[in-house]
Structure 1
């Protein structure tokens, strides 16, 4: 088409000669490269997005086997299927660039989950997005640092940094964090005990959950005596399970 239009032939004449629509001829004639007319529309984000630079790097280095690339990504934390990797590198086989990701902003719930998850338990996709988010928001970066400092106290069972941490929480300039600091100061001794000792109220919370569950299931369907009987049986079953998990292996 470029060869014909460059010698002065009109789009209509080229369309008649090649048996194509005039608009198709115009689109190809105006494109400087053939890749421009083969570009796909933006695709939805996927868990493969953080690994696209690595895929491009390995492709440029000569690794064109999709299964081998998939195995390499698995060692880096990718949990997706082999077919997704195969589809991702398909444009490279045709001389096209990799599809560019189109990300939506993370929700508050996603951000909270990324911040509270241990860094070594966070996948590469979440880590990469979190770091970009923290770079754009100093207040969130400060919050993240405070959360990780508190997590370190829990991991080490060391409440020594707690007073300094509460002071930093109060001076953060962020009203929600200052409110948390005020609430923790009212029961600081209990907070310190919760950090330094292995005891917790998980057993009691489990019993309460069992009781509420039975109440929801049986409400209006059985007498109090039957409800009591079911609660007792559930408690007995949970004790049996707890006892079996505590027994040393034989």
Structure 2
């Protein structure tokens, strides 16, 4: 039996040769291991002085890493010693087993480490379920608490650092974010975007060789002061953004090339909205109101052809007599539509020649044209101007011309990517 205990002692407690296994017991559910320390004394955690004056002893039962799905609990006998230094604030203290126990702990350090790793991988609920499969009964809150108690990892000093701003309150309060470009992980957040703050942070990291930043002057000043030997480069996002803005401005200067040329008023090539021909219907087939009117016109004329009176038709169709009379007096459905497209004189009529002239010159922005005719005395609303110009837009072959931003995206997009998006 003694040989078995010695072998168990060597397998479980290699990290501390002062630990001795006194007993091993299996009750069918839990594997109990009796443990004690061989040393004659311990160091006081308050003053660090060695003491072998034993004040008393008691048992602790920390849970250990399970074995073969069975719970393992240590029956650990710990001693309380009296501090030999009379000036120490701790009169007595309890010995701790390195690698196994700590103050007020219910689990050994290796079990705490195992649960913390499970929590890092699976978080609370999933980690607790996996631990239960291994024979560790623990709640999700305990798993999260063990993860939270782990020390924060110390990232290595970055060699290539990216500097940019972030908004704590958009438009009002901004800070600075620093990112390790090689690992693509954030390194630190600064409370402002002042050059002195950036310079102080860079001065604490002497290993920085490259500073990747935008064109903000305060970042340039901070990088020059904090890391004078580092190479300053522009990041890819801002380079691409600046290129896109430059391309869009260039296309905007040649926007007239995107439109179909229009001649001055009076020329035959001027595109103007045309009124419907005489007798033609302004309501095409497929229009819900027009189709319903044509259907009712046919029904009313059919019933009148059968010899029914207009009042009988109105009662049967549950229509007013005046509606039946209007349908009966119209020879064709198109007669009912006459006059609907012939609008009355509006406030915009006096300004339509000016709008056509400005459209021919290349100004197609409805809001801009509305503001212009307001200075000439127009008292109407923006909607009437927009509706009138829509007739001009519909007359452009191929529809509305592309915007400068759309053309700039065509220029900057790789041909293979464009074809892949188009399918």
**TM-score calculated relative to the size of structure 1:** 0.30
The structure with more strand, counted as a fraction of residues? 2
The structure with more helix, counted as a fraction of residues? 1
| Structure having greater relative contact order (Cα 8 Å, sep ≥ 6) | 1
Structure having the higher Rg: 2
